[in-house]
Amino acid sequence: MPKKIVALSIFLAIFLTVSAQNGATFRIEVLKGEKWWGAFVGGAPLEPFDEPFRIHTAESAEGGFFVPVLVSSAGRYIWSDSPMEIDFDGSQFLIISETEKVEVKKAGRTLREAYLLCCHHHFPPSAERRLPAELFTRPIYETEYDFGFLQCADDILAYADRLLAEGFPAGVILLADGWRPASGGYDFDRLYYPDPKEFVDALHAKGFEVMLTVTPYLSASGRAYVAALQNGMLYEEEPGDPVEVTNRNGCFVAIDVTKEQLCDTLRAELRRLTDDYGVDGFRFDCLDLVPHLLRTDNRFDAYLAGWMSLGSEFPLAEFVPGGRMPQTSCASCMESAATTPEAYLNDVLVAGLSGYTFLRPASEILFSRSAEEETVARAFILGMMMPVAYVPFAPWRVADETLYDEMRQTLAFRNSKKDYLEQIAQEAALAAEPIVRHLEYQFPRSGFADCNDQFMLGSRLLVVPVFDEAEERLVRLPRGVWKDQEGRRYRGPLVLNAATHGRHLICYELQ
């Protein structure tokens, strides 16, 4: 068992034992017909909750998320500022909290009212800065799966050329962390990127923007490591004992960004990348460090605050993780362990109702070399209708020509909606409403509480994924006039069977 899982398990076992002994227990009854969502980000059971479960909200911390909220279709919500143990038996919640009184609060009569009141009381949106439209209107092509640490300028340029030749729209090229020397420093590795400005300019000329993955890591050996250790630059659990982070690329130590001077130095290095080479933005990723931060909980928030402050002056920025508490003002990534597209969608819907508005979900399906092409294509197509269109691998990995063509068509369809996507992203930044919405959220008290296989993208676009090979797909249209992709109009509420031959996604737009 990996060390970080063992450490987290020990932490949770101790915490649950202490809570049970010293904490207060609160009983909350489920009302007749009431449905509940929340408590998870990634790895969620099917929601709304129907089956008994037991969880401690600290479990989400390993993925960088803390989910202290539950919301209901009857307009009620539960919030805790500190971790809580939740035991649900199907008819009531038993909640143990060591530090505070946990109560159910009434916000109105609907799921939307419960979410919005909870949000604006506990994690209100920030309008201090405008979200970068590029994250929501253009696909992000990440290079880690195909290149990783072995990337080089010529390979990335050839990859961009092939994307265009295959009919994919230009978007954002997101380089994995291998663009810089593993030993340390925040400049391009000149062995593989001899002329960084020429490289970035070439991608710009092809219509792409360039983001770099930035981590706080440097190699755990060599001159740069010794100098960083002697100068007090490394994150330490104990004095003189720097944390070691091991991942598939090797063994690393981490820069301590709780120290303001180090943050300023690193920020200046990143600014030089934008000024000298024309780099457009950064993905700030310290996820591998999170299990170590959990061991020193009093520094967890300080480290994430310092890490996220690095992106404060760069318009195009994404954070992994996006903060300990629900965030409505930044783009971040959720790692979903879902092994089916249905579970993947469930994770996204729950995350939206938990306050993580701008999540870029990354499903394990998309990284599995053993998954069937059909499953990979379904997950890819579904992912193109998420808040951020994340392309984690070269699309031509899918050899089946029919599936491949549909993947391309789905991305083109999304591209045709880019003005709408920018609009709903900016509206979400101001109001904190989810971008991917459960139908019960958008059309309350209309019989959609248990509808988990359709969703709304914003307030107007109904997305109906096709999860199997049946010739038809049952579609439930809410009230209103809806237009399908062929221009046909329907008046809801209406239940219909839509033909699915050669299709993995069906969309209707509210008129």
What is the fold, at CATH topology level, of the domain defined by 134-215+261-427? TIM Barrel (3.20.20)
For residue 181, whether the previous peptide bond is cis, meaning omega lies within 30 degrees of 0, is no
Token pair of 160 as six digits: 């961009």
The percent of residues above 70 in pLDDT, for the chain, comes to: 87
Query: Once rounded to an integer, what is the mean pLDDT over residues 487-500?
Result: 95
pLDDT at 11: 43
DSSP state of 484: E
Token pair of 45 as six digits: 């059971």
Task: Report the alpha-carbon distance of residue 65 to residue 41 in Å, rounded.
Answer: 7
Query: Once rounded to an integer, what is the mean pLDDT over residues 100-115?
Result: 93
What's the pLDDT band for 99 if we cut at 50, 70, 90?
confident
pLDDT at 22: 52
CA 228 to chain centre: 32
pLDDT at 81: 83
- pLDDT tens for residues 379-419? 888 888 988 888 988 999 889 998 899 999 999 999 999 99
The percent of residues above 90 in pLDDT, for the chain, comes to: 50
Domain boundaries, the chain: 3-122, 134-215+261-427, 435-510
CA distances from 60 to 3, 194, 348 (A): 17, 42, 14
Query: Once rounded to an integer, what is the mean pLDDT over residues 157-165?
Result: 97
Could you give the 3-state DSSP secondary structure of residue 126? coil
pLDDT at 155: 96
Q: Is the pLDDT of residue 106 over 60?
A: yes
For residue 321, whether the previous peptide bond is cis, meaning omega lies within 30 degrees of 0, is yes
- Specify which of 17-21, 224-228, 467-471 reaches the highest per-range mean pLDDT: 224-228
Token pair of 117 as six digits: 């009141």
Q: Identify the architecture of domain 435-510 in CATH.
A: Sandwich (2.60)
Domain 3-122 has CATH 1.25.40: no
Q: Among 108-117, 128-137, 351-360, which is the least confidently predicted range?
A: 128-137
Q: Is the pLDDT of residue 183 over 80?
A: no
Cα-Cα-Cα-Cα dihedral sign, residues 54, 57, 61, 66: positive
What's the pLDDT band for 104 if we cut at 50, 70, 90?
very high
| More confident: 212 or 145 | 212
Q: Parallel, antiparallel, or unpaired: how do β-strands 85-88 and 172-175 relate?
A: unpaired
DSSP state of 287: G
- pLDDT tens for residues 309-345? 898 888 888 888 776 666 655 666 666 667 788 888 9
Q: Is the pLDDT of residue 60 over 80?
A: no
- Residue labelled with tokens 């109560």: 103
- pLDDT tens for residues 294-319? 776 567 788 888 898 898 888 888 88
Average pLDDT across the chain, whole number: 86
Task: Report the alpha-carbon distance of residue 350 to residue 41 in Å, rounded.
Answer: 7
What's the pLDDT band for 504 if we cut at 50, 70, 90?
confident
**3-state per-residue secondary structure call for 361-418:** EEEHHHHCCCCCHHHHHHHHHHHCCCCCCEECCCHHHCCCHHHHHHHHHHHHHHHHCH
What's the pLDDT band for 8 if we cut at 50, 70, 90?
very low
- Specify which of 137-146, 189-198, 291-300, 362-371 reaches the highest per-range mean pLDDT: 189-198
Length of the chain counted residue by residue: 511
pLDDT at 335: 65
Q: Is the pLDDT of residue 112 over 80?
A: yes
Q: Among 31-40, 227-236, 254-263, 299-308, which is the least confidently predicted range?
A: 299-308
pLDDT at 9: 42
Q: Among 94-98, 254-258, 361-365, 372-376, which is the least confidently predicted range?
A: 361-365
Global confidence as pTM? 0.87
Task: Report the alpha-carbon distance of residue 52 to residue 470 in Å, rounded.
Answer: 31
- pLDDT tens for residues 62-80? 666 777 899 999 999 999 8
- Residue labelled with tokens 């991917």: 436
Domains 3-122 and 435-510 share a fold: yes
pLDDT at 200: 98
In DSSP notation, 189-241 reads -TTT-S-HHHHHHHHHHTT-EEEEEE-SEEESSSHHHHHHHHTT-B-EEETTE
